[in-house]
Structure formats: C-alpha cells, structure tokens
Structure 1
Amino acid sequence: MFHADVHAYLRSAAGDRAHRAGPFVIRFDEHDDAPPFNYAIPDDNLSPTDGDVAALVAAFRERDRTPRLEYVPRVAPELEEALLAAGFAPEGRYPLLVCPPREVVEAPVDPAVRVGLVTGDPELWQVAGVMNAAFEAPEATEHDVARLRGVLERGGLVAAAVDTATGGVVGAGQIGGPHAGVAEVAGIAVRGSHRRRGIAGAVTALLTRAGADAGITTLFLTPGNDAASRVYARVGYRKVGEMLHISLPKSRESGTAA
C-alpha cells in the first residue's frame, strides 16, 4: 500500500506540469530540461505494450527532453523489462527511506548555524542558490524561486540553515506539497564551505518534525548515495523499498546507431 501511495504522490506532485501519454503521467518543466524535473510515473500494475513505450518516448522527444522514468518497480513489476527491450538503461536504483514523523531523532548541528522554516522571497532566493550549487545546476533564476513558491502554495515546506555570523543561507531542503498525507523530503543541500557540521541531518530532522506538525503522516526520501543514506539513517529514516530511475539516451533509440 505504501509503495502505491508513493506513486500517487508523485503523480500529484506533477501538478499543472502533468501530461498523460497512455498509461504514464509525465511531469514536464518547460523552463528547465534538468532530468529531476522531467520524468514519467507509470500506472500501477502496468503491462506495457510496445505502443505504450513508443508513445512515452514520443511525448518526451516532442519537448526535446530525454525520455525517463522515476518509479517504484514493485508497483509496476512488468515495466522494466519492456523499457530495457526498448533501449532504456538504468540511471540508478535508490533506496526508498521512510521515517514516522514522531520518531525522528534529534540531530546535533554546529551552534553557529540556525535551522528554521522560511517563506519569504529573499530566503527562497538563497535556498535556490544553495540547492543549485550543491546539485551542480546553473545559477539560480526566478524560475527556481517560483518552483519553491509553488511548493509552499501546495502545502509543502522549505527549510534553511543560516550561518549566524554572516546571515547567509548555507543549507536547505524541502517537503513537497502532500497528497493523502504522503510527501517527499527532497533537495537537502549544504554549501561546500559548511559540510561536515551536521547541517544536512538537522535540516532533514526539522522538516520531518515540521511535516508531522502540518499533518503529514508519511514522509519518504530517496538518497543519491551511501553517504546521504547514513545521514538520513542517523535521524531515523530506514529502508522500505527501492526507486528506479531509468532513461533512454538518444543514441539508444530503436533505429539509431549506438
């Protein structure tokens, strides 16, 4: 049930960027071609046809985006085989972690850093800058800030870690707008100058507690590497499944030379 709830959340999170291509809901960002903002979620228990996969690929190519999916294989167990046959290749398999909000563990943080929720544009600009720098994205733009405003408008939360000596934001994270009590903790980021000070764990713990206070009953996240997994484990997150990111590079499309 939880894994299907994650899919329902991901479809909901697509919001006004959602597009349906056969048995897939696709999130497109017309301003940003970065993979994390352009992906498909399959219908549950999907038995895809070749035509279904072709329609999915065409929808991405029409928008000059790389065809890709982010989904829980357990919810659509027949899909991966069909995608591999069409030339898709896994980008990564990531642990799906959860933490009951009331079971979050307090995380010690450098006393020179203050962690709290933010809503104002000046802080959101700094949060966007920290996130983009941490994930090697271009300089923050108005679109990045508008995306964070959208998180808040949908009932999500944005957190910032502030260096009390300079007043600058040095860490950040967010919870997406919840769907049926389910939401994702994402975008946990720390400036290189302030790493190894407990900031990522403190931001994650704060968001998890604040999510519970906002009525969110199930929080999940998908760490990108083992180091991040260890940070989240220290504040109470544990593995309950797996998320697959899989895409079709142009060179691997059917009929295209490798």
Structure 2
Amino acid sequence: MRTDVQSFAVAHLLRRPETHEAGGFVVGFDPTTTSPYINYATPVPGAEPTDRDVAGLIAVFRERGLKPRLEFAPDAAPAVEPALRRAGFGTEAMHEYLVCTPATLTLPGAVPDSTAPVEVTAPVGEADYTALDIALAEAFGGEWEPSPEGAARLRRTEESGGAVRFVRARGGGCAGGALCSAPAEGTAELAGVGTLPAYRGRGIAAAVTSTLAGTMFGRGAESVWLEYSGEGSRRVYERVGFRPGGTRLYVSLEG
C-alpha cells in the first residue's frame, strides 16, 4: 500500500490560508472562494474516524456555509470510506491516478504534420497568468469562470515552489497549459492540463506535462502524479512516462 499521494494531499491542504485538523481529518479553506473543489477535506493515512469524528467534520463545513466534501486515496485509510457512507456521503467520482518518476520520464515525440516544435514557457507577468486562467477555463468547458482570484492562485503556485507552464497562442495569449504544486512528502501533483479546442492535436498537453514533471524532478521531487479524464488523455500521459499508481475517491454530502 502506497501512502505518498495521500500524505501529499494532507500536506497540500495544510498550505491553505485556513486549516482545521480533527478526528483524523485535515480541512483546507480558501476564504477568497466558496468552490467545493478548493475547500475540502482529506484523511491522514491510516485514519480510523468514529461517527462522532465525521459529525464534527461536517459541522466544520456547515458553520462556514460550505458543502462537506473530501478527496482521498481510499487504500491509504481503509476505515474512512465506510464511516463517511454511514453519514450519508455520496460518490462524486473515482479516478485513477498515474505516477511519473525521473526513471520513466520521456520527452514527447514529434507530432505528425507539425510545422514547429512546441515551445513551453513560464508566465512572466500578470497578463500571462490572466491569459492562462482564461484559456484553462475555456479548455475545461466553462467549469469555472476566469477571475482575478484564479490568476492570483496560479501566481501563488509558481511563487510557492510549484510551477506553471503554458504554450503561447498565435498573436499572443495562451493555447494551453497546466500547473504543478510544490513538492511535499517526496511527490507533487500535476493538474489543470488543458488545451484550447483550436490547438488540440499539436502535442501541447504532452509538452507541458513533460516540462512540468522535469521541472519538479530538478527541484528534488521523487515523483509527480496526476489524474486523467479519459483514455485519450491517459495515452498522452503514458507517452511521457506516467504509469498506473492507484485510485482517488471524491465524496460529498448534499443538503
């Protein structure tokens, strides 16, 4: 049983502006947003919460007017899921995650019919962070609205030891990009890999993913992990060295 990804989840939430620890859970809050995808909880590896612990966790969310929600790797804390189910938590999703190490990382191959190599760059100012926030919002089908707060979170990722990388669109702006958190517990999470529809099929996702993983390895990370949304994206990540690692469960409490 590997616990590095779950240990990372705990350390990552403890970086939030506001945190709460109780009953074997860590909760991370960001007062600039009510998004349940940013304000959520995770168990410490090996946690064995009681029903009272879960009730206390729910209260922490309720008193802030937020939906109780958790993200975690079930294998790292097998007693947690049954306790949450007893309290009425339902499944949002279960995703497999992939892991890359320095030994498996490879450079992406050439894209057929490409006219130029994909050039991956780091943001150099507010305009770049804003353009990336706008592009990722569009790439993910409008799941969130681009905002100054979103651009600021990207900047904080870069400034706090993580990395943000993107590919410029013709005439300026952003064609696609992604971000990677600062390493913790020897690993780092790569997320938000998105490409604008007009630029898909040109190797942007593979180039950005490979560059970010290499950047983290250069900073001492022993591995980088990510989740994928479909078989197409999985093949992209496997081509640059990501391999199956386990599953992560997303649950929330309605009402």
The verdict on a shared fold, with TM-score over 0.5 as the criterion, is yes
Q: Partner of 2:183: helix, strand, or coil? A: coil
1:137, 1:192 → 2: CA distance?
15
Give me the whole-angstrom Cα distance separating, in 2, the residues matched to 1:46 and 1:173: 32
Q: CA deviation at 1:97?
A: 0.8
Match of 1:255 in 2: none
Inter-CA distance 231–127: structure 2 relative to 1 (3 Å threshold): same
1:228 equivalent to 2:229? Answer no
Q: For 1:173-188, what aligned pairs fall within 5 Å after superposition?
A: 173-188=178-193
Q: Which residue of 2 aligns with 1:27?
A: 28
Which secondary structure does the structure 1 equivalent of 2:37 belong to? helix
Q: Which residue of 1 aligns with 2:100?
A: 99
Match of 1:147?
153
1:161 alignment partner in structure 2:
167
Distance (Å, rounded) in 2 between the aligned partners of 1:96 and 1:137: 21
1:215 is aligned to 220
| Shift in CA distance, 64/133, structure 1 to aligned 2, threshold 3 Å | farther
Q: CA deviation at 1:186?
A: 0.7
Given that residues 102 and 209 in structure 1 are in contact (C-alpha distance below 8 angstroms), is that contact kept between their aligned partners in structure 2?
no
1:253 maps to: none
Read off the aligned partner of 1:101 and give its amino acid letter: P
Amino acid at match of 2:230: N
- Contact map agreement 2:101 2:223 (CA 8 A) in 1: yes
Which 10-residue stretch deviates more, 170-179 or 212-221?
Answer: 212-221
Q: Structure 1 stretch 68-77 or stretch 29-38: which is displaced more?
A: 29-38
Shift of 1:103: 2.5
Aligned to 1:4: 3
> Contact between 2:7 and 2:45, CA under 8 Å: does it hold in 1?
no
Matched, 1:198 2:197: no
Give the whole-Å Cα distance in 2 for the aligned partners of 1:205 and 1:23: 35
CA distance 1:20–1:145, change in 2 (3 Å): same
* Counterpart pick for 2:143 among 137, 154, 164: 137
- Structure 2 gaps, min length 5: none
Q: What letter matches 1:50 in structure 2? A: D
Q: Find the residue that maps to 1:242 and give its secondary structure.
A: strand
Give the match for residue 71 of structure 1: 72
Relative to structure 1, the CA distance from residue 220 to residue 247 in structure 2 (aligned partners, 3 Å threshold; closer, same or farther) is same
**CA shift at 1:122, angstroms?**
1.7
Query: Counterpart of 1:52?
Result: 53
Q: How far apart are 1:37 and its partner, in Å?
A: 0.8
Residue in 1 aligned with 2:133? 128
Contact residue 116 and residue 206 of structure 1 kept, 8 A:
no
- What is the count of residue pairs matched by the alignment? 248
Q: What letter is aligned with 2:220?
A: G
Structure 1 counterpart of 2:4, one-letter code: D
Q: CA deviation at 1:119?
A: 4.2
Range with greater deviation from structure 2 (97-106 or 42-51): 97-106
Q: Percent identity?
A: 37
Please tell me whether the aligned partners of residues 4 and 186 of structure 2 are also in contact (alpha carbons under 8 angstroms). Answer: no
Shift of 1:102: 4.3
Instruction: Indicate the residue corresponding to 1:172 in structure 2.
Output: 177
By how many angstroms is 1:63 displaced? Answer: 1.7
CA distance, structure 1, for counterparts of residue 214 and residue 99 of structure 2: 13
CA distance in 2, matches of 1:49, 1:180: 27
Q: Which amino acid aligns with 2:154?
A: L
TM-score, normalization by structure 1: 0.89
- C-alpha contact 2:177 2:192 (8 A) present in aligned 1: yes
Equivalent pair of 1:119/1:152 in contact (CA under 8 Å): no
